[in-house]
Amino acid sequence: MNDANRDLLDDLLAGEHRALARVISKIEDRSPGYRDLVSALHEHTGDADVVGITGSPGAGKSTLVDKLAKHYRDEGLTVGVIAIDPSSPFTGGSVLGDRIRMASNVGDMDVFFRSMSARGSLGGLSTATADAVKALDAFGKDVVLVETVGAGQNEIDIVKAADTVAVLVPPGSGDDIQMLKAGILEIGDVFVVNKADMPGADRTVQELREMIHTRGDYTETGHHGDDALQVVEPDLAEEDGWEPQLVETVAKSGEGVPELVEVLADHVEYLEASGTREERARQRYAEEIRTLLREDTNRLLAREIDRRGGLEAFVDAVVARESDPYTVADDLVDPLAECLAEGSN
């Protein structure tokens, strides 16, 4: 690591927000030396509670994240927010910008907000996002909130960066319920019916309740009638694991936010008591290693293809029936395989 990056790392670990911002910029831009920075950050991570907020557009994710951040600050906790925004078609960067949606926390230096580009992967998390979470964790933020685009594609990627996943569903959203059946139901630790004061909320709660029932029993708390609004402590010794929770909120007014924070805290307690937190961390690191290997291998092969005259030369040979895609792939990968084989001897 060069001296400039070493100084930058020292400043971040000393609690300087400007250094934190610069490190995240280097991470997002993939600037020279960023990998050394992330590697050095790793030993300082593992203390923050990372919460993923996902769901469809219009569910109120940004408003809820704002209110969650304020609630955590009122409790004396420091907060980092990473918002995955749509990419600009011109620059590739975020189009929404920093702090536009954090009205309740403007001017509070202990709420660090950063919007990051989805880089063409709508709803998904880029590798840079997971690295940015590490920077916030190493900096010392108590809670890190990660908000996805919510475009209905690849939101399941949020599990790669979050300990707890909250899925937001707006009322009267039949399409969103169908989307949950496609896979998000499997990753949600908490399901939130936001805008619960709007028509259709009761029906959405009922539909979610039925879906959650397929994963086991559930607990419900939130905005509607007293009989339905009972906070039930999860049984940490439950053999079947965490029971998905159903919470109702009205983020605009803050109703239900304290109950949601309590459920999120319950989930953290469950993760610690059951050993699931370490298990999830192992899964995330395994996936991160696989992702980095794919990226690095692709980069090496791209250089080799360019050295041999570019991909079009290989395509021309395939079109002319002088070769085929499998032979081309084998020809490019064989030298790498031979090199690895020699290293293992």
The confidence band for 141, taking pLDDT boundaries of 50, 70 and 90, is very high
The confidence band for 137, taking pLDDT boundaries of 50, 70 and 90, is very high
Q: 158: domain range? A: 44-274
Are the C-beta atoms of residues 111 and 105 closer than 8 Å to each other?
yes
pLDDT digit string, tens, across residues 253-289? 999 999 999 999 999 999 999 999 999 899 889 988 9
Q: For residues 122 and 175, state if they share a domain.
A: yes
279 located within any domain: no
- Percent over 90 (pLDDT), the chain: 47
Look at residue 233 in the predicted model and tell me its pLDDT. Answer: 38
Looking up residue 155, the CATH number of its domain turns out to be 3.40.50.300
Look at residue 184 in the predicted model and tell me its pLDDT. Answer: 67
Rounded mean pLDDT, 53-69:
88
Q: For residues 325 and 183, state if they share a domain.
A: no
Rounded mean pLDDT, 17-36:
93
In sequence order, what are the residues at sequence separation of 6 or more whose Cβ sits closer than 8 angstroms to the Cβ of residue 238?
Answer: none
State whether residue 61 is helix, strand or coil.
Answer: helix
Q: For residues 222 and 310, state if they share a domain.
A: no
Cα distance between residue 305 and residue 311, in whole Å: 6
Please say if the pLDDT value at position 92 is more than 80: no
Q: For residues 58 and 110, state if they share a domain.
A: yes
Q: For residues 52 and 126, state if they share a domain.
A: yes
293 located within any domain: yes
Look at residue 178 in the predicted model and tell me its pLDDT. Answer: 61
Q: For residues 53 and 172, state if they share a domain.
A: yes
Domain boundary among 274, 304, 328: 274
pLDDT digit string, tens, across residues 77-91? 999 999 887 654 334
Edge to edge, what strands does the sheet with 111-117 contain?
A: 111-117, 79-85, 143-147, 49-55, 164-169, 190-193, 245-248, 219-221
Q: For residues 107 and 206, state if they share a domain.
A: yes
Alpha helix segments (H runs only) across 94-171: 127-139
pLDDT digit string, tens, across residues 306-341? 999 999 999 999 999 999 999 999 999 999 899 888
Look at residue 154 in the predicted model and tell me its pLDDT. Answer: 55
292 located within any domain: yes
b vs e for 120-138, b when ≥16 Cβ sit within 10 Å of the residue's Cβ? ebbbbbbbbbbbbbbbbbb
Please say if the pLDDT value at position 122 is more than 70: no
Are the C-beta atoms of residues 55 and 172 closer than 8 Å to each other?
no
Are the C-beta atoms of residues 61 and 147 closer than 8 Å to each other?
yes
Q: For residues 54 and 149, state if they share a domain.
A: yes
116 located within any domain: yes
Q: For residues 216 and 340, state if they share a domain.
A: no
242 located within any domain: yes
Look at residue 194 in the predicted model and tell me its pLDDT. Answer: 86
Number of domains in the chain: 2
Look at residue 318 in the predicted model and tell me its pLDDT. Answer: 97
pLDDT digit string, tens, across residues 206-246? 878 877 776 554 445 555 444 333 333 333 334 458 888 88
Domain boundary among 233, 251, 274: 274
What is the token pair recorded at 133?
């979470």
Q: For residues 100 and 135, state if they share a domain.
A: yes
The confidence band for 201, taking pLDDT boundaries of 50, 70 and 90, is confident
Q: For residues 240 and 336, state if they share a domain.
A: no
With residue 345 as reference, give the H or E element that holds it. none
Domain boundary among 252, 274, 296: 274
**Higher-pLDDT residue of 136, 159:** 136
Q: For residues 191 and 260, state if they share a domain.
A: yes
Are the C-beta atoms of residues 79 and 20 closer than 8 Å to each other?
no
- Phi then psi dihedrals of residue 213, to 5 deg: -60, -25
Q: What is the pTM of this model?
A: 0.82
Look at residue 295 in the predicted model and tell me its pLDDT. Answer: 87
37 located within any domain: no
21 located within any domain: no
24 located within any domain: no
Please say if the pLDDT value at position 99 is more than 50: no
Look at residue 149 in the predicted model and tell me its pLDDT. Answer: 74
Rounded mean pLDDT, 193-211:
81
Q: Which candidate, 19, 14, 20, places its Cα nearest to that of 81? A: 20
